Amino acid sequence: MNTNNLKNSVRIGHFSRNLSAAKKNLNFVKDSNLPKKDYKKNEARVYFICVNDTIVKIGGSNAKGGIGGTIAPYCSGNGGRPSDRTYGVNYYIEQELRKGSDVEIYAQWMPSARCSVPSLTGIEYLSVSYSYKRMEEACVEEYLNINGNKHPAWNFQEAGMPWPEEIQEGRRKLLESK
């Protein structure tokens, strides 16, 4: 499945290799057409990592910092104490960039809704962001239906599969070096 199928999404930008710092092996270059407010908005979002226009990862987030905050851990997944997923996605992005592939991110958002929220002593009317989870599930379900029940290549957890041994071993070595 490729980026032509992403009717509700916008291109966020692309990854490049960071050759000047060991702790952060990837850079992210925001698309110049993307408004800064969209990059930072804290609404529920689903993102799509694409290699040469093919969707390889579907994820979701409600993390603060908007889609920029969602992307940042993938840029430094070769350092610190990353999860298998963060380390693995970082590893695969770097491998694809070494091959000369284009690695991009697209995203879509679930608009916030104004609703009554109970406080300690009353009710407040606030703008509330929904959870990304149901939107992510709908995207994955549609992807599976289109692709013969096969998950995107980097969606190991959703497919009920462990990360490949090379990812688990690489992460173990990273954690042991601390």
Tell me what pLDDT residue 178 has.
64
Distance, in Å, from the CA atom of 159 to the CA atom of 152, rounded to the nearest integer, reads 9
- All structural domains of the chain with their residue ranges: 3-132+141-162
Amino acid letter for position 108: Q
Tell me what pLDDT residue 152 has.
97
pLDDT tens-digit series, residues 5-59: 899 999 999 999 998 866 789 999 999 999 999 999 999 999 999 999 999 999 9
**What is the enclosing helix (H) or strand (E) of 84?**
helix 84-98
Predicted TM-score (pTM) of the model is 0.92
Tell me what pLDDT residue 166 has.
93
**Arithmetic mean of pLDDT, 98-126:** 95
Tell me what pLDDT residue 22 has.
66
Residue 80 pLDDT exceeds 70: yes
**What is the enclosing helix (H) or strand (E) of 46?**
strand 45-51
Architecture of domain 3-132+141-162: 3-Layer(aba) Sandwich (3.40)
pLDDT tens-digit series, residues 122-164: 999 998 888 999 999 999 999 999 999 999 999 999 999 999 9
Tell me what pLDDT residue 129 has.
85
Length of the chain: 178
Tell me what pLDDT residue 31 has.
97
List the one residue out of 59, 23, 67 whose CA is nearest residue 43. Answer: 67
